[in-house]
């Protein structure tokens, strides 16, 4: 029987015995992006039985790749840094081929010159030293999987936090890349937590040895989607193009109703942010309240043939990354294959503005938008506002793990980067679903 929880959660009581034999569990995972697939892989390897449900016709989520004229283009996540240890392990275990990523260049505000990113912060010994001391004192666990451990210390808006700590050179060095990658503008009030996590994950603050034989960043040959396809191929039960119509959680387990029949399981892993499944979930008051606080950025990928532009690099556009007033304009583009004119463009804002402004932005840089192959809008970077972080929203989400047989992975608890999603999902699976056969003493 469900019992009332002080915070409004209908909690399902644990078995009363103090010594439980660990039995294989059945688990349904909703969402086949990196988080859901990493969790499912970990669960299956530990001996549990897993069904993954994905609403799209293919796996990979925001790491999907598509083919144009025989070349693979990544629509979303694909750049891995020297901090991507778990991703590199996965790549090695699945014997997936990797290659170095394109170089980065910043096109100046006038659109006249392209130069390397200014990394003055790393040479600014005073400011960098101040950052390191601040990190040690206030958010020493920032590099560990998850975000809750550092949320309260970094709940201030990033622009203010950087100014308060005299870290303007950090803003100069990381702000352009941060904005170009979809995380927001430094003047839009996103909490410092996310900026600092991003900066740490670039690997530039804590240079380590490279991974998989690459000195710098690496990616998957043939598109990042291929990695997730390989993970899914090894799993026993991954179902794509399935619509979840309702989720019922009871004391003895979970029943997920879909347009192709119900799936019963002991436990449920939500590998999608709560707000994306709220309409079908028998949600508690606590879940509803947290879901209502989730924010995302409207971020877009446009895959297009556009000759005449600066080539053979990942370009950040200084003119449109400096302020949120430029929303709608293209903030970056990637020219991956020098022998084609196909590029992936990235923009924030309303879809109608993005498609209108892209042709102008391309023309402004001396190019021509010849053919748009595909446009994709993302609800990017699920996150909480500063006031919610300060009030403990991420700790509340963590406290929900296991309640009503339900677990949460993905960008909201982990941060919107592949490595963060994978590491958090793997750790959650290892912590909450031990290998069957042993005993658990509580």
Ligand X SMILES: Cc1cc2nc3c(=O)[nH]c(=O)nc-3n(C[C@H](O)[C@H](O)[C@H](O)COP(=O)(O)OP(=O)(O)OC[C@H]3O[C@@H](n4cnc5c(N)ncnc54)[C@H](O)[C@@H]3O)c2cc1C
Shortest distance (Å) from residue 420 CB to ligand X: 7
User: Which residue, 20 or 255, is less far from ligand X as judged by CB?
Assistant: 255
Shortest distance (Å) from residue 244 CB to ligand X: 5
Shortest distance (Å) from residue 336 CB to ligand X: 12
User: Which residue, 124 or 419, is less far from ligand X as judged by CB?
Assistant: 419
CB-closest chain residue to ligand X: 33
Taking Cα atoms as reference points, which of 243, 238, 226, 315 lies closest to residue 279? 243
C-alpha 284: how far from its chain's center?
Answer: 25
Shortest distance (Å) from residue 84 CB to ligand X: 7
Using a 10 angstrom Cβ sphere, with 0-12 exposed, 13-18 middle and 19 or more buried, the burial of residue 335 is buried
User: Which residue, 167 or 421, is less far from ligand X as judged by CB?
Assistant: 421
Shortest distance (Å) from residue 61 CB to ligand X: 2
Question: Under a CB-based contact definition with an 8 Å cutoff, are residues 293 and 391 in contact?
Answer: no
User: Which residue, 76 or 175, is less far from ligand X as judged by CB?
Assistant: 76
Backbone angles phi, psi at 440, to 5 degrees: -115, 120
Taking Cα atoms as reference points, which of 30, 61, 11 lies closest to residue 247? 30
Shortest distance (Å) from residue 411 CB to ligand X: 5
User: Which residue, 134 or 240, is less far from ligand X as judged by CB?
Assistant: 240
Consecutive H or E run containing 87: helix 85-93
Q: What is the DSSP letter of 442?
A: -
Q: What angle do CA 123, 86, 83 make, to 5 degrees?
A: 5
Q: Which residue has the tokens 């403990």?
A: 392
Residues that bind ligand X (CB under 6 A): 30-36, 53-56, 61-63, 76-79, 182, 244, 271-272, 276-277, 301, 346, 378, 380, 410-411, 416-419, 421
Backbone angles phi, psi at 222, to 5 degrees: 85, 15
Shortest distance (Å) from residue 301 CB to ligand X: 5
User: Which residue, 124 or 328, is less far from ligand X as judged by CB?
Assistant: 328
Backbone angles phi, psi at 26, to 5 degrees: -105, 135
Q: What 3-state DSSP class applies to 289? A: helix
User: Which residue, 191 or 225, is less far from ligand X as judged by CB?
Assistant: 225
Consecutive H or E run containing 352: helix 351-364
């Amino acid at each position: 029987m469900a019992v009332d929880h002080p915070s409004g959660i209908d909690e399902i009581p644990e078995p009363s015995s103090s010594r439980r034999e660990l039995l294989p569990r059945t688990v349904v995972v909703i969402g086949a992006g990196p988080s859901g697939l990493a969790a499912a892989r970990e669960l299956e390897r530990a001996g549990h039985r897993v069904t993954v449900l994905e609403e799209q016709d293919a796996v990979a989520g925001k790491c999907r790749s598509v083919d144009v004229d025989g070349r693979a283009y990544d629509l979303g996540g694909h750049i891995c840094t020297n901090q991507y240890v778990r991703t590199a392990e996965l790549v090695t275990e699945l014997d997936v081929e990797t290659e170095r990523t394109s170089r980065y260049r910043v096109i100046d505000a006038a659109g006249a010159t392209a130069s390397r990113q200014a990394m003055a912060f790393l040479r600014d010994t005073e400011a960098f030293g101040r950052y390191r001391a601040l990190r040690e004192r206030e958010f020493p666990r920032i590099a560990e999987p998850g975000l809750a451990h550092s949320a309260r210390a970094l709940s201030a808006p990033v622009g203010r936090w950087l100014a308060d700590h005299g870290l303007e050179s950090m803003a100069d060095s990381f702000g352009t890349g941060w904005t170009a990658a979809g995380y927001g503008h430094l003047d839009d009030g996103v909490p410092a937590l996310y900026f600092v996590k991003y900066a740490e994950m670039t690997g530039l603050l804590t240079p380590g040895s490279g991974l998989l034989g690459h000195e710098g960043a690496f990616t998957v040959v043939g598109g990042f989607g291929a990695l997730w396809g390989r993970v899914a191929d090894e799993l026993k039960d991954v179902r794509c193009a399935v619509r979840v119509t309702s989720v019922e959680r009871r004391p003895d387990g979970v029943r997920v109703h879909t347009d192709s029949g119900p799936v019963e399981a002991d436990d449920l892993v939500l590998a999608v942010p709560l707000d994306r499944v709220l309409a079908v979930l028998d949600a508690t008051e606590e879940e509803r309240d947290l879901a209502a606080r989730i924010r995302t950025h409207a971020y877009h990928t446009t895959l297009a043939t556009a000759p005449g532009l600066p080539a053979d690099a990942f370009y950040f556009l200084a003119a449109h990354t400096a302020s949120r007033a430029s929303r709608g304009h293209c903030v970056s583009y990637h020219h991956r294959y020098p022998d084609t004119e196909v590029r992936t463009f990235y923009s924030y804002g309303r879809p109608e503005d993005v498609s209108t402004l892209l042709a102008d932005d391309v023309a402004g840089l001396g190019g021509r938008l010849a053919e748009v192959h595909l446009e994709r809008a993302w609800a990017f970077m699920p996150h909480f506002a500063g006031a919610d972080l300060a009030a403990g929203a991420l700790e509340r989400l963590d406290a929900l793990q296991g309640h009503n047989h339900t677990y949460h992975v993905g960008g909201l608890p982990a941060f919107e980067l592949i490595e963060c999603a994978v590491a958090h999902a793997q750790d959650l699976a290892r912590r909450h679903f031990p290998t069957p056969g042993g005993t658990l003493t509580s």
